[in-house]
Structure 1
């Protein structure tokens, strides 16, 4: 449903009421103009960044395919991290793709097996192992299982057969929910071997100094 047009000389306030312009203080009008100007520019920059990201990933994928052709091979899929660097080493960019992992219902079976182990290990289990296991299944602030903590349990060298079945269940419960792509761009710091990121995050960009 479209918002009906406002007659000239009237402004709509935050409560939806129509207010004659002459009743609005000049400072409030100036504030409104400033915010709208910056928001319009932000929308433009957002669109430019979206277009840049699309072009950048497309160009990188095309270059990776071109490079593979030099060796008469075809690469399967578009996953994996890629680092590209200028000839002089001054600039480099990293195309990274990360999967978001979730667990299906088999995680509950794994937890049941682990609870059986803990019940039997009460006498001889090391306290730090019990704490690590219980902590792994705590949810985060959003009520979601912390994937990395659960997967870290598979690194524990425990020979109990139930534990091994639980670790198998955890591995099989992993499902890829989504894949996110990232582009990181770096510039060499002077003549050192260190690189500083060229940030595209507005929160991490410092405005130019005024002299």
Structure 2
């Protein structure tokens, strides 16, 4: 991997070609180091992606094999499954997750809830207002936390506008992309199962 586009030149951060004999030696060494490490990282990333795909395929094949013992053909995507080694020291988990988000109707729910709070007594409204504001706050990615908002539906409140708001929340939930996760665990001396990290930051 290299940023060279012409022999004897290197492209700088502004996109200009700079003769290598005009670049400080330490800058050349730094560039070589970064380029080499990035190349190796991309190669490792490809290997991990291949390993993940192959491992998930093997788990799904085993689930099919196990089902065949009972004359069942599962077909399609498999659900969540946990496989444990015979000695209980290792676990492999295949989990299916889905990304949920709200459409524009969640904003109508927020207005309805605010209207409820406005007509309620002072004593109860402060606490509930804080709870609602917390539930509808936007995260760093600019999204509303689905679980936080859904927690409002657990409140036992009988009020037409509140119930209408809860219906709006339920109707506004949209299911986006589904993603499969592979997690592998090893049992430690204290008996707990700890994840085997492949995240370089956690090694």
Structure-1-length-normalised TM-score: 0.83
Mean alpha-carbon deviation: is it higher for 16-25 or for 34-43? 16-25
Note the C-alpha offset of 1:61: 1.6
Partners of 1:45 and 1:123 lie apart in 2 by 59
Instruction: Check 1:16–1:117 CA distance in 2 against 1; reply closer, same or farther (3 A cut).
Output: closer
User: Is 1:204 the equivalent of 2:202?
Assistant: yes
Secondary structure in structure 1 of the residue aligned to 2:114: helix
Partners of 1:10 and 1:126 lie apart in 2 by 68
Structure-2-length-normalised TM-score: 0.86
Which residue of 2 is the match for residue 208 of structure 1?
none
Which residue of 2 is the match for residue 9 of structure 1?
8
Which residue of 2 is the match for residue 146 of structure 1?
145
Secondary structure in structure 1 of the residue aligned to 2:87: coil
User: Is 1:127 the equivalent of 2:126?
Assistant: yes
What's the CA shift string for 1:151-185, capped at 9, x where partnerless? 11011111223322322221121111122222111
Partners of 1:90 and 1:36 lie apart in 2 by 40
- What 5-or-longer segments of structure 2 have no aligned partner? none
- What 5-or-longer segments of structure 1 have no aligned partner? 206-211
What's the CA shift string for 1:104-132, capped at 9, x where partnerless? 23323322332232122144535322221
Q: Is the 8 A contact 2:92 2:182 kept in 1?
A: yes
What's the CA shift string for 1:53-72, capped at 9, x where partnerless? 11112112222222222233
Q: Could you tell me which of 176, 191, 196 is aligned with 1:193?
A: 191
Partners of 1:165 and 1:74 lie apart in 2 by 44
Which residue of 2 is the match for residue 70 of structure 1?
69
Instruction: Check 1:74–1:160 CA distance in 2 against 1; reply closer, same or farther (3 A cut).
Output: farther
